[in-house]
Every structure is written in structure tokens, then in C-alpha cells.
Amino acid sequence: MPNISQRACMMPSSPIRKLYPLAEAAEARGTKIYRLNIGQPDLPSPDEGLDAMRHIDRRVLEYSPSDGFRSLREKLTGYYDQYQIKVSADDIIITTGGSEAVLFAFMACLNPGDEIIVPEPAYANYMAFAISAGAVIRPITTSIDEGFALPSVDEFERLITPRTRGIMICNPNNPTGYLYTRKEMNRIRDLVAKYDLFLFSDEVYREFIYTGSPYISACHLEGIEQNVVLIDSVSKRYSECGIRIGALITKNRELRNAVMKFCQARLSPPLIGQIIAEASLDAPRSYSIHTYEEYIERRNCLIDGLNRIDGVYSPIPMGAFYTVARLPIDDSDRFCEWCLREFSYDGATIMMAPASGFYSDPDKGHDEVRISYTLKKEDLRHAIFLLGKALEAYPGNTMHKQRQ
């Protein structure tokens, strides 16, 4: 039997999906699970998208252009314009989800052995896409005690080597909910310009910003237009994770031509998804307002509830729909497994994402979990209550030890 590749061995298993079998087993025992682990919004997709799907009158479900329908790309320019992101339809390549946009960006920009700097904790799949391209992630750690703010320029520069080719950010951030300030974005811009790096900026959560601070897109930064690769997706803003429609946006024509070769090899992005995404852009303002207000309330409910539990601390996330919270536990992987395997209260338990999966340093994140607030408020409230009960019962609670 031939061996699998080295890159396949290096590829991380999903930190979240590895808990699935335990969740299935718990459900099979009749336990209700409150899923605080997922990034799938529970809110309905816009009617405009669903209706467009139901009224497709094509007889042949054929290939679409490799860079996506021009009509969709043109309509997106109007959407971006609302955020002062000035792009033309030619700057936009439609991808199979934001995931493919990250993969193709890395494949087209990074050679094996090239390095990219990624603030951590970070979305775990950046690591997987970097490994796919043979590239190396150099993490720069942000800390819960500083609310996950960006470290100083000095710390970035300490990581820069002759192999450094880019910086990857997620803004607003998954998993921390952090929103980069103008000052921080300017700092990144200066580094990118000084070392002529690519700036990969995943901004799929721009709809979900809960502070008065401005949203500074990588596309707003002047002087580095040729270095910026914007990653986008309709998954989060329209609750349409399943249709797999994202975008890679860059003003760098040479890079677009390179990315297009990867796009042509996979022929085309999903046809039906594009039709749904295009129609969803017509969703009324009330759709976004309703969604936004719902998340504001959920965020308040979650963060307030978490910080009332003994020994638990969560900073106030400024965007997205996650927070990374510190718990009084010995090991977050063990605790999250224990919640599914051994704990239940009145027939229910909680599922969370151990934060260890969001750091490449194996020593980090062991007392942190990512909690998403894509559940209804009453469910969130009960889930927080269950978390409190679970911590009381958990043998690895570090506060128990202190008390003994």
C-alpha cells in the first residue's frame, strides 16, 4: 500500500470537527447539545436568494465562467462601494467559498518554504491552506489580557526573514472578535510597504462590527494597492455558508492572471450559488439591520453571562460572532471532550471549540475556548448556565485545586 504525502501528514485535523463523533454519541444517548462551536449562523438566508433559486428557469445546469458571472461581479462593486472599497468587476474573481480564495491566494503567491506572518489565535484553516502551498506560518501571538490587540511593530520585524512573503489577517477576527484599529492597520501597511509583502486580508465579517470604531479594510490602505489580496464570502453576511460563494479581490493584475490559471483548472465556481448570491445582494436594508441587532443582543447576553461565571473571563469582542474566553481549566481539549463525553445537566450539555486549535504553538490556548453566538438568546442563556454547571463539576477545574 503506497504511503500518503508528507503534506497530508502535516495537515491539521479540524479542531472542531474532531469532536463530532463525541457529539453524535452524546445525542445517541439522548443528550441535547447546545452548539457553541460553530460559525454557521442560524438566521434565515434572505428571501431574495431563496426565491431566485426556486425560480431558476434553466434547462441545463451548465458551467459558468471560471471567474464567475460578470453580472455578479458588477453588482458586487456596488456593494463594496458602500464600504468605500473602490474596485471594478475586473478586480473580482468569484471563488468556491472564501476557503478557495485563501487557497488560491497562497498557491499563486507562495513558494514552498516561504513564510507568512499570522496573528494568533487564528482561523485554523489558514494553516491547512499554507501547508497545501508548502508555506510556513510564523505566528505572532496576541493575548487575551490585551484584548487580542496587535503586538508592536518591533515584534513583527523580529519575525521577518528573507523568506517572509506576506501577512495574513482576519478583520474583524475569527476567533477573537477583535477589530483592528486605524493605527494598527497603518502599522501593517507600513510593514507591507517596507518589506514588499503580500497582505492577505480576510474580511468576511465586515457586517458584524459592534463598536463606533471605523472598519478599516486592507483596501483602504494607500500605497500598497498592488500588495493587497482581499478575501470575501457571502456565507456569513447572508447566512449562506452552504452555497460556497466567495471572492478573491486584488488590483494586482499579474496576480489575478496567476489566480485565474487555478480557477480555470477547476473550471467554474458553483452555478446555483452564484445566482443565489447575486439575488441576495437585493436583500433590503431591514435584513441586515435585523441580523445586526440580533447579534448585538446575543453578544451582550453571552459576554455578560460568561463574565459572571466564577473564574471565567471574556474580553468584549468588537466584531464577528465569536469570542475567545478564558476558563479555569487544566486543558481545553480535555474539557470540551469531557463536556460531550461525561457531562450533562437535565439531559443537556454544550459543545465548544478548544482554542488550542487556533494556535500553532502547542503550549497556547489550553485554558481558552472559542464560543460562537450563533444561537438564539434563550439558548445562549441556557448554554451559559450549563457551562457554569460543567465547570463546577469538571475534575480539572483549576479553582477547585486552589480551594483544596
Looking at residues 73 to 102 of the shown chain, list those that interact with a second copy (rule: CB under 8 A).
96-97, 99-100
Running DSSP on this structure, what letter comes out for residue 14? P
When binding is defined by CB under 8 A, the residue of 43, 159, 160, 316 that contacts a second copy is: 43
CB of 269 to a second copy, least distance (A): 7
Among 26, 34, 37, 45, binds a second copy (CB under 8 A): 45
The grid coordinates of residue 253 equal 493584475
Number of residues that bind a second copy (CB under 8 A): 82
For position 271 contacting a second copy by CB under 8 A, the verdict is yes
Q: What are phi and psi of 354, to 5 degrees?
A: -60, 135
- Pick the closer one to a second copy by CB: 244 or 382: 244
Interface pick for a second copy out of 35, 77, 134, 163 (rule CB under 8 A): 134
> Which of 146, 264, 296, 310 is in the footprint of a second copy by CB under 8 A?
264
User: Could you tell me if residue 78 is left (phi over 0), alpha (psi between -120 and 50 degrees) or otherwise beta?
Assistant: alpha
Which CB atom, from 8 or from 289, has the smaller least distance to a second copy? Answer: 8
Name which position in 62, 154, 222, 363 contacts a second copy (CB under 8 A).
62
What order do you get walking across the sheet with 368-372 strand by strand? 322-326, 368-372, 353-354
Q: How far is CA 16 from CA 21, 33, 133, 232, 317, in A?
A: 11, 14, 23, 22, 20
Q: Residues 6 or more apart from 154 whose CB is under 8 A from it? A: none
Between 68 and 305, name the residue whose CB sits nearer to a second copy: 68
Residue closer to a second copy, measured from CB, 131 or 387? 131
Would you count residue 218 as binding a second copy (CB under 8 A)?
no
Which SS3 state, helix, strand or coil, does residue 391 take?
A: helix
Tell me, residue by residue from 3 to 32, as one string, x for binding to a second copy by CB under 8 A and - for no binding: -xxxxxx-xxxx--x---------------
Q: Does 2 bind a second copy (CB under 8 A)?
A: yes
In single-letter form, the type of residue at position 62 comes to E
Residues 357-396 that bind a second copy (CB under 8 A): none
**26 or 234, CB closer to a second copy?**
234
Site string for a second copy, 224-263 (x = CB under 8 A): --xx-----------xxxxxx-------x-xx--xx-xx-
- Tell me the closest approach of the beta carbon of residue 20 to a second copy, in angstroms: 9
* Helical axes 70-81 vs 271-280, angle rounded to 10°: 30
Q: Report 155-184 residues binding a second copy (CB under 8 A).
A: 165-166
Three-class secondary structure of residue 116 per DSSP: strand
Nearer to a second copy, 44 or 284 (CB): 44
Answer yes or no whether residue 116 interacts with a second copy by CB under 8 A. Answer: no
Q: What are phi and psi of 286, to 5 degrees?
A: -65, -30
Residue 324's contacts (CB-CB under 8 Å, 6 or more residues apart) are 121, 144, 148, 175, 176, 177, 314, 315, 355, 358, 368, 369, 370, 371
Closest CA to 22 of 397, 342, 348: 342
Looking at 31, 35, 48, 53, which residue binds a second copy (CB under 8 A)? 53
Least distance between a second copy and beta carbon 351 (Å): 15
CA distances from 82 to 78, 79, 186, 319 (A): 7, 6, 21, 18
